[in-house]
Structure 1
Amino acid sequence: MDGVVYDLCIVGAGLIGSAAARHATIISPAAKICLIGPKEPKTVEEKHGRTIFGAHYDEGRITRTLDPNPIWGVLANRSIARYRDIEKRTGVKFFSEVGHMTICNKENEDVIRMKEIATDLHVNFDIMDHKDVNKQFTYLNIDTYDVALLQSKGAGHVSPRSQLLAQQTAAHLQGCNIIDDVIVHVTETNQLNGSVMKLTTEKGDILYARKVLLATGGFTSFRRLLPPGKELDVQLKSQTVAFAEVTPKDAARLKDMPCVIRKMTQGGKYNLYMLPPIKYPDGKYYLKIGHGEQFETEFTTEKEVADWFRTEGLKSAHKPLLDMMFDIVKGVRPVRTFGDACVTTHTPSHLVYCDMVTPLLGVAVGGNGHAAKSADEIGKMAARMVIAGKWDHDLPADKFTVKFKNNATSKL
C-alpha cells in the first residue's frame, strides 16, 4: 500500500466519517477517496486486545427533530429527510419510525424552544398531558405536572450499526476505498513535489493524501493526528446504559412505544433517555435506558477510555436506571437485566467541531451525545468543507469553530 496517493483520506470510520465518505464521493465522483478505521470487534478476545473503539456498537439511537438547540434541530431534520433514500439505494434498513416523546415540566423553557424550532422546520407535534399519554399509550406513565411533546412522523430510532453499513455501502459503490486499519500518525510532507499529508497506519503502511479529514471522536488526542502543540478542547465523558430483556409478549404489547427523553422534572426526577423494545442480533428484544449528567465521569487518557469500553458501565447505576425505566413503562417483567458502556465527546459550545486546522487538514469531532441522528448532515458539511478547503455550508461557520486547549485557537 506504500506510495498510494488519495485526493482525500477520511480518518475514522464511525457514523460521521462514513457519512462524510458517502458525501465526498457524490461531491467529487472522480476523486480518489479512502475511509480508514477499525471494524467493530466481534469477540471478547478481540475487544480486550483493542485500544480504539467506536460509539456505534449498538442497535438503538434516538432520532428526532424536536430539540431545544436550533442547530441540532436543523442537522437532525436534514439527516432524517435522507434516511429512506439511503436505505433504498443500499438495501440496508436502519430507521424505525416509531416516534419520539419528550417529557418535561410544563414550565420548562425547552418546551418553548422546541415549539419554535418545530414551527421553523415545519415539523408536526402534539402536546399531551398525563391523561392524554395514558389514553394513547396505556403502558406509559408520566407525572401529573408534566407534559409530553410527541413527534410521530420523522422520528424514532436508528440502528447505528446498520446506518454505518448503509453509509459505507453507498460510499464503496461510489468508489471509496474502505480500509480496516488505525492511523497512528498524520503529518504534512513535501516528498511528492508539493505539500501532501502522510499517514502511517498501525499495520505499518504509508498512505499519502492531498487532503485529510479527521472524524476520530474521543480518540483524536491519543494518536499523533494533529499538528504538534494542537490538542482539541474536548471532554470525554462516561456513559452507562442499562438493558432489560423483555418477553416476546411484552415486545408485542409495546410495539407502538415511542422513544422517550425525560428532562429534569418538578419532582426532581433525573434526566433520562429510553428506547422501546428493539430486536438485537441474538434474536431477543431489549428495552434500553441511559442517563443525563448524574452518572458521568470524565476521562483523560487512552487507557481510561479503552478500559471503560470493556466494562458494563457503572454497575451502581444499573438499578437506579432500571427503576426509572419501570416508573415510566408499566407492567414489564424483565427476563434479565445488564449494562453496557460508551463514551461521548463534548465541546465547550455543545456543538460539533467542523473546521479546517490547516489548509490540508480538517476535523469533524465532538458529537456531544447527539451525532448519531445528525451524522449524515454533519458528514455532508464536513465533506464540503474539506474538499473546498474552506467553509461551504449555509449554517454559520462560527458555530463549529474548533478550539484547542491552552487557548491555542489560531490555525497554522
Structure 2
Amino acid sequence: MRDLYDVIVVGAGPIGSATARHLADRGHSTLVTGPDEPAGFEDHRGLWAGHYDEGRLAHVLEVPLMTSLLAMRSIRRFADLRERTGVTFTVPAHSLSVMPRTMAGGSGADWFDRDILARNARDLGVEVSELDEDDLREQYPALTFEPKHVALVQRDAFILNPRRLVEAELAAATAAGATLAREEVVRTEKVDGGVRVTARSGASWLAERVVLATGAASNATGLLPRPLLMPTYGATIVLVEVDGPDAIDMPATMYLKYRDASAVFGGIVMPPLRYPDGKWYVKVAGSSLLHNPLDTAEEIGAWVRTGGRREDIGEALAVLSDLMPGQKFGPARTRPCMVSATPTERPYIDMVDERTVIAVEGERGAMAADEIGRLTAGLAVHGRWKDSIPHEVFQARWAEPGWTTAGRNASTIDPPAPRTADATDGAC
C-alpha cells in the first residue's frame, strides 16, 4: 500500500464504492475501506449496512424531482459499468406505483401524488402511463388491488441488486487502480499535510482528504465532530418464500393501500428474487419503518440481532393474500435493515472540514449511488463544488451535540422522519 493517498473513502457500500470508482477513473490514488458483509445477524455486534439485499427499484417515480434526476444520471451509466466489469446488477422491470384515487393530505401525500410523479418523470423525458382502476385490473390481471385505487407505471425501470452493484463498483475501482481494504475505520485525525485514518485492527493510512460514506450509521461511527440532522431507524423486510421466479406474475410495486379512508399499508412488494440461500422470495417492506430509532453502535447491533420485527410477517402476509387471493406461499422470515432521512429529502454531499467530505443518502442510495459518488469524488478532489446543480441542494445540516433520533433535542430543527407507514419506497 502507498504511504499517502489522494483520497481515502471510508465505507464500501453503494456510495463509497461508487466514489472510489470515480476517483480512480480520474487517476487519483484511492483507498476504499469497509468490512465484508457479516455471515449472519444473530450474533452481530456493531454497525450494519443497508445494502445487504437482492432487490431495489431503480426508476424515476420519485419525489422530489432531484431524487429522480440523480437516479437517471446513475441509470444512464449502468450499461457501461456492466460492460467494464462483467457484473450483472440489474434486470428490466415495470415499476408500478399504486395509490388511492383520492387521498387526504399528510406526510405521504406528495410521495404518492400521481400528478407530481408523472410530471417529474416527463420532465426527465421518461415515458410513464397513468392507469385508472379498470386499466390496472386489465393490465395486471394476476393482482387484486384495493377498490378505488389508480396507478402510474414506468415500463423501462429496473430491479437493482445492491450487493452486485457494490461488487461492480469495487471491481471497476480496483481495475482503475484503487486499493480495497476490508477494515472497519474507528478514527480519523488531521496531521501535518493530511488525514490519518485508523482501523479497528490497528492498521492506518494517510491521505490528503477523506470521504465518509458511512450510510445510515454515520452518526454512530464516532467519526463526525457533531451529529448530522439525520434520524436513523431499524427497518424490517419480510421475505416470503415462493417456488421460483415464475411463481408469481407481478411487477415491482409501490403500494399505498387505503381502506375506509385510512392507510392500511404503505410500502413495496417485489416480484420473486433469488437470495443467497438459493431460495426465491417475495419481498415486502414498509410496515414499521419508524418503530426502532437507533443512535449508537450498541443500539444498532442490538437491533440487528433481533432479526427484524416479527409482527411485520402477519402484516406482509395479509397484503399478499389480498393482492393474490388463492396464491400459495411458503414460510416467511424477517431481515433487519437500516434507513435514515434528511430534512431536505436529498443526499448530504458536503465538506465537514477542509479535509473531510460527508456523502450520505439513507433511503434511496442504491439507485442514485453512482451519481452521488461522482459528485462526491469531484468535491473531494477540488475541495469545492463543480457541477451544474447548485451545491446548496446537497449541503449538510448539523444538529447540536446531544441530538438523538429517539429524543429530539428541542433546541434543534426537528427533521422529518423517513417515509412513514403510509409512504415508503424501496429503501430496504
2:235/2:289 contact within 8 Å kept:
no
1:8-407 equivalences in 2 (<5 Å): 8-26=7-25, 28-29=26-27, 31-43=28-40, 48-107=43-102, 110-153=113-156, 155-190=157-192, 195-227=193-225, 230-248=226-244, 251-255=245-249, 257-263=250-256, 265=258, 266-291=261-286, 296-367=291-362, 369-406=363-400
How many positions carry a matched residue from both structures? 393
Deviations 1:144-165 (A, max 9, x none): 3111101011x13111111110
Deviations 1:190-224 (A, max 9, x none): 1xxxx200111111012100011000123323333
CA distance in 2, matches of 1:173, 1:81: 21
CA distance in 2, matches of 1:299, 1:57: 18
1:139/1:329 contact within 8 Å kept:
yes
Shift of 1:49: 4.8
- Say if 1:232 and 1:294 are closer, same or farther in 2 by CA, change over 3 A: closer
1:130/1:143 contact within 8 Å kept:
no
The structure in which a higher percent of residues are helix is 1
Shift of 1:125: 1.1
Shift of 1:348: 1.6
CA distance in 1, matches of 2:328, 2:412: 53
- Say if 1:301 and 1:405 are closer, same or farther in 2 by CA, change over 3 A: same
- Say if 1:220 and 1:263 are closer, same or farther in 2 by CA, change over 3 A: same
SS in 2 for 1:66: coil
1:68/1:111 contact within 8 Å kept:
no
CA distance in 1, matches of 2:253, 2:385: 35
Alpha-carbon RMSD? 2.0
- Say if 1:112 and 1:280 are closer, same or farther in 2 by CA, change over 3 A: same
1:10/1:212 contact within 8 Å kept:
yes
Deviations 1:281-338 (A, max 9, x none): 3322100000156653211221111121222211112201221122223432112111
CA distance in 1, matches of 2:247, 2:311: 30
SS in 1 for 2:281: strand
- With structure 1 as the length reference, what TM-score do the two structures score? 0.90
- With structure 2 as the length reference, what TM-score do the two structures score? 0.87
CA distance in 1, matches of 2:14, 2:326: 35
Shift of 1:403: 1.4
Deviations 1:338-366 (A, max 9, x none): 11111112212221111011121100023
Deviations 1:249-306 (A, max 9, x none): xx31435x21111135345332111110012233221000001566532112211111
- Say if 1:82 and 1:392 are closer, same or farther in 2 by CA, change over 3 A: same
Structure 2: unaligned runs, 5 residues or longer = 104-109, 401-410, 414-428
